[in-house]
Amino acid sequence: MRFVFSPPAEAASGLLDLSWHEPLEEWEDERLVEIRQRGLSRHPVRFVAEAGVVYALKELDARLARREYRLLRSLRDLGLPAVEVVGVVVDRPGLDAILVTRFLDYSSSYRALFANARYGHPTDRLQDALVELLVRLHLAGFMWGDCSLSNVLFRMDAGAFAAYLVDAETAELHPALSEGQRGYDLDLARERIAGELFDLQAAGTLPPVDPIEVADDTVRRYHALWDELTREEILHPEDQRYRIADRLRRINSLGFDVDEVELVDAGPVAGEGTTPHTSGNGPGGARLRVRTRVAEPGHHRRILMARTGLGAQENQARRLLNDIAAYRGYLERVKGGPVPEVVASNTWLAEVYERVVRAIPADLRDRLDEVEIFHEILEHRWFLSERAGRDVGTTEAARDYFDSVLPTVPEDLTETGRPPS
Ligand SMILES: Nc1ncnc2c1ncn2[C@@H]1O[C@H](COP(=O)(O)OP(=O)(O)O)[C@@H](O)[C@H]1O
Ligand SMILES: [Mg+2]
């Protein structure tokens, strides 16, 4: 038997005395934990809590396990959203290998999301999150070969969802993907998504949507996003500067960062219904190519991290940056003069954000991640202020939110996988 762990391996060394010599499904160990509503799987998958951390163990053919181990490491190196791989156990006499990943904190399967009334109809947000993940993977040259709702985990992201890849055993990493390779992934995704939604329909947990229509629409959304990020445009000389700025802003607003902008001389530009000779635009038209960065967290996450050191999902980061900007305006009004960005960010962190987070009741801390709780408090403040006809302030909003909203967040939606205390 052989264990291969990637550093930091000390954390996982507590796993060494599990019953590796027995089939995973026959294990009996007090460290095993049940995860409700997890995604569908081909292989035996079980979860173990060790020293406060939960791990997912999957038993599968050694060749596939090694391959998945390698691919998940590549995804981590590329900075793409996927579960974190811990190690692989091979050469178990007479048995398949076991792949060990870390349980993704605060994650839910699509089944858990559909089962929870709190989030209304999650279909739309699930589609957007899945599409964004697939586009990111494709930009990085990663062909999934198994894109489905079951193979994705979702985390809350300021009311939207952020998707993480969970199953990579069929994937291939290339320098870039052809249209055929992307098309292959999309065909599979369409088929799998429709199938998974039909299953939910049969179980009575699907809102009134047509599975095939949702699957087709997911593919349409993929093409729209891919096109926005990668399409080449021909720019007229007179509006070049504006059009470039506009395109970059749109890409940033989708949560992506631009790595490189390339302008290639395209010669004279023809206006509509004119020939190049008569267009009057003269020379100077340019072809705009934009390369999107994949190896970095999203645009707003990066800015928030630089300003405050807070790690967040993309929409959460956007939300927090807006709150910091509003707070800066407030500080400037109080002071009667300009307040530097860095001062505003630091003051906001200490006086607003950390104060709220410290006040979260200990027994409710695991319901949602900290940034999501803060986001919900901002929403709640807006709601209470509307009702009261005055700004109730963050402290009062937080108090009311802890009393009346947070306790209603179902635990299974936000299954942290942490061992029961
Ligand atoms: N690291 C993890 N964190 C959270 N959930 C996980 C993790 N690994 C697996 N799961 C859950 O187990 C399910 C099955 O895992 P998966 O790797 O897709 O197995 P299979 O190859 O059999 O399809 C997933 O849909 C997901 O719900
Ligand atoms: Mg799977």
Residue located nearest, by CA, to atom 20 of ligand 1 = 41
pLDDT over 60 at 57, yes or no: yes
- What DSSP character marks residue 396? H
Please report which ligand is nearest the Cα atom of 152: 1
- Confidence (pLDDT) at 412: 53
Q: What is the mean pLDDT of residues 41-66?
A: 92
Ranges 86-90, 115-119, 231-235, 333-337: which has the least confidence:
115-119
Task: Quote the ligand 1 centre to 64 CA distance (angstroms).
Answer: 15
Return the bridge partners of 209, or none: none
Q: What is the mean pLDDT of residues 200-205?
A: 92
pLDDT over 60 at 283, yes or no: no
Sheet of strand 285-293: strand arrangement: 233-235, 285-293, 257-267
Q: What is the mean pLDDT of residues 46-66?
A: 92
Q: What is the average pLDDT value for the chain, to the nearest integer?
A: 88
- Confidence (pLDDT) at 233: 87
Residue written as token pair 């395109």: 247
pLDDT over 60 at 273, yes or no: no
Q: What is the mean pLDDT of residues 236-256?
A: 85
Please report which ligand is nearest the Cα atom of 42: 1
Ligand 1, residues at Cβ distance < 6 Å: 38-39, 41-43, 45, 56, 58, 83, 101-104, 107, 109, 150-151, 153, 166-167, 169
- Confidence (pLDDT) at 272: 45
Return the bridge partners of 57, or none: 46, 100
Task: Quote the ligand 1 centre to 189 CA distance (angstroms).
Answer: 17
Please report which ligand is nearest the Cα atom of 55: 1
pLDDT over 60 at 140, yes or no: yes
Q: What is the mean pLDDT of residues 227-233?
A: 91
Residue located nearest, by CA, to atom 8 of ligand 1 = 56
- Ligand 1 atom nearest the C-alpha of 42 is 22
Task: Quote the ligand 2 centre to 47 CA distance (angstroms).
Answer: 15
- Confidence (pLDDT) at 166: 96
For 142, residues 6+ apart whose C-beta sits below 8 A from its C-beta are: 75, 78, 80, 171, 172, 173, 174, 177
For 159, residues 6+ apart whose C-beta sits below 8 A from its C-beta are: 315, 375, 379
With bands split at pLDDT 50, 70 and 90, how would you rate the model's confidence at 9? low
Residue written as token pair 């026959």: 26
- Confidence (pLDDT) at 295: 63
Task: Quote the ligand 1 centre to 151 CA distance (angstroms).
Answer: 7
pLDDT over 60 at 421, yes or no: no
- The 10s digit of each residue's pLDDT in 161-186 is 999 999 998 999 999 999 999 999 99
- pTM for the complete prediction? 0.87
Q: Percentage of the chain with pLDDT > 70?
A: 91
Q: Please answer whether residues 38 and 152 qualify as being in contact, where contact means their C-beta atoms are separated by less than 8 angstroms.
A: no
- Confidence (pLDDT) at 266: 74
- Ligand 1 atom nearest the C-alpha of 102 is 1
- Confidence (pLDDT) at 269: 52
- Ligand 1 atom nearest the C-alpha of 44 is 22
Residue located nearest, by CA, to atom 13 of ligand 1 = 39
Q: Do domains 2-102 and 107-229 have the same CATH topology?
A: no
Q: Does domain 2-102 bear CATH number 3.40.1400?
A: no
- Confidence (pLDDT) at 41: 86
- Confidence (pLDDT) at 349: 96
- Confidence (pLDDT) at 60: 97
Choice from 25, 42, 45, 59 to test ligand 1 binding pocket (greatest atom count within 8 A of CB): 45
Q: Does domain 107-229 bear CATH number 1.10.510.10?
A: yes
In this predicted model, which residue has the larger pLDDT, 82 or 421? 82
Task: Quote the ligand 2 centre to 166 CA distance (angstroms).
Answer: 7
CA proximity to 160, closest of 383, 294, 35, 312: 312
Task: Quote the ligand 2 centre to 170 CA distance (angstroms).
Answer: 10
CA proximity to 312, closest of 398, 381, 372: 372
Domain residue spans of the chain: 2-102, 107-229, 231-293, 359-414
- The 10s digit of each residue's pLDDT in 325-351 is 999 999 999 999 999 999 999 999 999
Q: Is 69 helix (H, G, I), strand (E, B) or coil?
A: helix
Q: Which pair of structure tokens corresponds to residue 250?
A: 């749109």
Choice from 35, 58, 96 to test ligand 1 binding pocket (greatest atom count within 8 A of CB): 58
